[in-house]
Chain A
Amino acid sequence: MDSVFGLVVKRIGMGILTLFAISIIFFMGVEALPGDLAEEILGQNALPETVAAFRKELKLDLPPHERYFSWLGDLMKGDLGKSLANGRPVVDLVGWRFANTMFLAISAAVIAVPVAILLGIIAALYRNSLFDRAISIATLSTISFPEFFVAYILIALLSVQLIIFPSISNINDQMSFWQKIYAIVLPCLTLTLVVVAHMMRQTRAAIINILASPFIEMARLKGIHRTRVIVMHAFLNALSPVINVIALNLAYLVVGVVIVEVVFVYPGLGQLMVDSVSKRDIPVVQACGLIFAAVYIGLNLTADVLSIISNPRLRNPR
Chain B
Amino acid sequence: MSKIKELEQLFTKGKITRRDFITRVSALGFMAAVSPALLSSTAKAATPKKGGRFIIGITGGSTTDSMDPATLTSNMNQNVNWQIRNNLVEIDHNFNAIPELAESWDSTPDAKVWTFKLRKGIEFHNGKTMTAEDVIFSINHHLGEKSKSAAKAYLKSIKAIKADGKHEVIFELSGGSADFPFILGDYHLTICPAGTEGLEWEKGIGTGGYILESWEPGVRSFSKRNPNYWKEGRAHFDEIETLSIVDTNARTNALKTGRINYMDRVELKTVHLMKRMPGVNVSAITGTAHYTIPMRLDQKPYNDNNVRMALKLAVNREQLVKQMLRGYGEPGNDHPIAPVNKYYAKDLEQRKYDPEKAKFYMKKAGMLDHTFNLHAADAAFAGAVDAAVLMKEQAKKAGININVVREPDDGYWSNVWMKKEWCMCYWGGRPTEDMMFSVAYSDGAPWNDTLWKNDRFNKLLISARAELDKDKRRKLYWEMQEICRNDSGTIVPMFNQMVEASSDKLAHGPISGHMALDGMRTPERWWFA
Interface residues of A (CB under 8 A from B): 33-35, 37-51, 53-54, 56-57, 83, 85-88, 93, 152, 155-156, 159-160, 163, 166-168, 170, 172, 262-265, 267, 271-272, 275-276, 278-279, 281, 284
Known A41-B64, A263-B250; judge A33-B245 contact (CB<8 A): no
Task: List 5 other contacts, CB 8 Å, given A50-B149, A265-B243, A271-B63.
Answer: A35-B415, A42-B148, A47-B446, A167-B256, A265-B244
Query: Is B446 in contact with A39, judged by CB distance below 8 angstroms?
Result: no
Q: Which residues of B contact A51 (CB under 8 A)?
A: 148
Shortest beta-carbon distance, B381 to chain A, in Å?
Answer: 11
Query: Is B259 in contact with A168, judged by CB distance below 8 angstroms?
Result: yes
Q: Which residues of A contact B417 (CB under 8 A)?
A: 44
Query: Is A86 in contact with B257, judged by CB distance below 8 angstroms?
Result: no
Q: Which residues of B contact A278 (CB under 8 A)?
A: 62, 410
Query: Could you tell me the distance between the alpha carbons of A275 and B219 in the complex, rounded to whole angstroms?
Result: 11
Q: Which residues of A contact B199 (CB under 8 A)?
A: 87-88
Query: Is A281 in contact with B245, judged by CB distance below 8 angstroms?
Result: no
Q: Which residues of A contact B216 (CB under 8 A)?
A: 267
Most chain B beta-carbon neighbours within 10 Å: one of A44, A49, A172, A267? A44
B126 part of interface (Cβ distance < 8 Å): no
In the complex, which residue of chain A has the Cβ closest to the Cβ of B153? A47
Q: Which residues of A contact B198 (CB under 8 A)?
A: 87
Indicate with 1 or 0, residue by residue over B234-245, a CB within 8 angstroms of chain A CB atoms: 000000000111
- Chain B interface size range: 35 or more
Shortest beta-carbon distance, B476 to chain A, in Å?
Answer: 27
In the complex, which residue of chain B has the Cβ closest to the Cβ of A274? B63
* Complex partner residue of A85 from B65, B149, B219, B254, CB under 8 angstroms: B65
Shortest beta-carbon distance, A2 to chain B, in Å?
Answer: 46
Known A43-B413, A44-B417; judge A50-B147 contact (CB<8 A): yes
Q: Which residues of A contact B217 (CB under 8 A)?
A: 85-86, 88
In the complex, which residue of chain A has the Cβ closest to the Cβ of B417? A44
Query: Is A262 in contact with B63, judged by CB distance below 8 angstroms?
Result: no
Query: Is A265 in contact with B73, judged by CB distance below 8 angstroms?
Result: no
In the complex, which residue of chain A has the Cβ closest to the Cβ of B409? A278
Query: Is B244 in contact with A53, judged by CB distance below 8 angstroms?
Result: no
Q: List 14 A-B contacts (CB under 8 A).
A: A34-B414, A41-B71, A42-B73, A46-B413, A48-B446, A53-B146, A85-B66, A86-B64, A163-B257, A167-B257, A265-B254, A276-B64, A278-B410, A279-B64
Find residues 198-222 in chain B having any chain A CB closer than 8 Å to their own CB: 198-199, 202, 216-220
Q: Which residues of B contact A88 (CB under 8 A)?
A: 199, 202, 217
Query: Is A271 in contact with B64, judged by CB distance below 8 angstroms?
Result: no
* Complex partner residue of A50 from B150, B256, B411, B415, CB under 8 angstroms: B150
Q: Which residues of A contact B153 (CB under 8 A)?
A: 45, 47
B246 part of interface (Cβ distance < 8 Å): yes
Query: Is B146 in contact with A57, judged by CB distance below 8 angstroms?
Result: yes
Query: Could you tell me the distance between the alpha carbons of A42 and B153 in the complex, rounded to whole angstroms?
Result: 12
Shortest beta-carbon distance, A274 to chain B, in Å?
Answer: 9
Shortest beta-carbon distance, A268 to chain B, in Å?
Answer: 10
Query: Is A44 in contact with B413, judged by CB distance below 8 angstroms?
Result: yes
* Complex partner residue of A35 from B63, B220, B256, B410, CB under 8 angstroms: B410
Query: Is A53 in contact with B250, judged by CB distance below 8 angstroms?
Result: no
* Complex partner residue of B259 from A50, A54, A166, A172, CB under 8 angstroms: A166
Find residues 156-212 in chain B having any chain A CB closer than 8 Å to their own CB: 198-199, 202
* Complex partner residue of A39 from B71, B202, B244, B413, CB under 8 angstroms: B413
Known A41-B71, A279-B62; judge A86-B245 contact (CB<8 A): no
Shortest beta-carbon distance, B422 to chain A, in Å?
Answer: 17
Query: Is A39 in contact with B411, judged by CB distance below 8 angstroms?
Result: yes
Query: Is B218 in contact with A272, judged by CB distance below 8 angstroms?
Result: yes
* Complex partner residue of A33 from B149, B219, B411, CB under 8 angstroms: B411
Query: Is B150 in contact with A45, judged by CB distance below 8 angstroms?
Result: yes
Q: Which residues of A contact B218 (CB under 8 A)?
A: 271-272, 275
Q: Which residues of B contact A281 (CB under 8 A)?
A: 64
Decide if the interface of chain B is mainly helix, strand, loop or mixed: loop
Query: Is B249 in contact with A172, judged by CB distance below 8 angstroms?
Result: no
B408 part of interface (Cβ distance < 8 Å): yes
Query: Could you tell me the distance between the alpha carbons of A80 and B145 in the complex, rounded to whole angstroms?
Result: 30
Query: Is B148 in contact with A86, judged by CB distance below 8 angstroms?
Result: no
Shortest beta-carbon distance, B2 to chain A, in Å?
Answer: 44
Q: Which residues of A contact B71 (CB under 8 A)?
A: 41-42, 54, 85
Find residues 390-418 in chain B having any chain A CB closer than 8 Å to their own CB: 408, 410-411, 413-415, 417
Query: Could you tell me the distance between the alpha carbons of A83 and B198 in the complex, rounded to whole angstroms?
Result: 12
B369 part of interface (Cβ distance < 8 Å): no
Query: Is A53 in contact with B410, judged by CB distance below 8 angstroms?
Result: no
Q: Which residues of A contact B64 (CB under 8 A)?
A: 37, 41, 83, 85-86, 275-276, 279, 281, 284
Find residues 58-79 in chain B having any chain A CB closer than 8 Å to their own CB: 62-68, 71, 73
* Complex partner residue of B63 from A37, A53, A275, CB under 8 angstroms: A275
Query: Is B254 in contact with A167, judged by CB distance below 8 angstroms?
Result: yes
Q: Which residues of A contact B247 (CB under 8 A)?
A: 262-263, 265
Q: Which residues of B contact A166 (CB under 8 A)?
A: 257, 259
Most chain B beta-carbon neighbours within 10 Å: one of A56, A166, A167? A167
In the complex, which residue of chain A has the Cβ closest to the Cβ of B259? A168
Known A88-B202, A160-B253, A166-B259; judge A49-B243 contact (CB<8 A): no
In the complex, which residue of chain B has the Cβ closest to the Cβ of A54? B148
Q: Which residues of A contact B254 (CB under 8 A)?
A: 167-168, 265
Query: Is B257 in contact with A159, judged by CB distance below 8 angstroms?
Result: yes
Shortest beta-carbon distance, A270 to chain B, in Å?
Answer: 11
Query: Is A86 in contact with B65, judged by CB distance below 8 angstroms?
Result: yes
Shortest beta-carbon distance, A255 to chain B, in Å?
Answer: 17
Q: Which residues of A contact B259 (CB under 8 A)?
A: 166-168
Shortest beta-carbon distance, A153 to chain B, in Å?
Answer: 11
Q: Which residues of B contact A54 (CB under 8 A)?
A: 71, 148
Query: Could you tell me the distance between the alpha carbons of A285 and B257 in the complex, rounded to whole angstroms?
Result: 34
Q: Which residues of A contact B408 (CB under 8 A)?
A: 34
Shortest beta-carbon distance, B409 to chain A, in Å?
Answer: 9
Query: Could you tell me the distance between the alpha carbons of A43 and B146 in the complex, rounded to whole angstroms?
Result: 18
Q: Which residues of B contact A35 (CB under 8 A)?
A: 410-411, 414-415
Indicate with 1 or 0, residue by residue over B246-287, a CB within 8 angstroms of chain A CB atoms: 110110011011010000000000000000000000000000
Query: Is B152 in contact with A50, judged by CB distance below 8 angstroms?
Result: yes
Q: Which residues of A contact B413 (CB under 8 A)?
A: 39, 43-44, 46
Known A45-B150, A267-B216; judge A167-B253 contact (CB<8 A): yes
Q: Which residues of A contact B257 (CB under 8 A)?
A: 159-160, 163, 166-167
3 tightest Cβ-Cβ pairs between the two chains A and B: A34-B411, A85-B64, A45-B150
Query: Is A43 in contact with B73, judged by CB distance below 8 angstroms?
Result: yes
Indicate with 1 or 0, residue by residue over B416-435, a CB within 8 angstroms of chain A CB atoms: 01000000001000000000
Query: Is A86 in contact with B66, judged by CB distance below 8 angstroms?
Result: yes
Shortest beta-carbon distance, A57 to chain B, in Å?
Answer: 6
Q: Which residues of A contact B147 (CB under 8 A)?
A: 50, 53
Known A47-B153, A57-B148; judge A170-B415 contact (CB<8 A): no
Query: Could you tell me the distance between the alpha carbons of A141 and B150 in the complex, rounded to whole angstroms?
Result: 49
Most chain A beta-carbon neighbours within 10 Å: one of B63, B153, B413, B446? B63
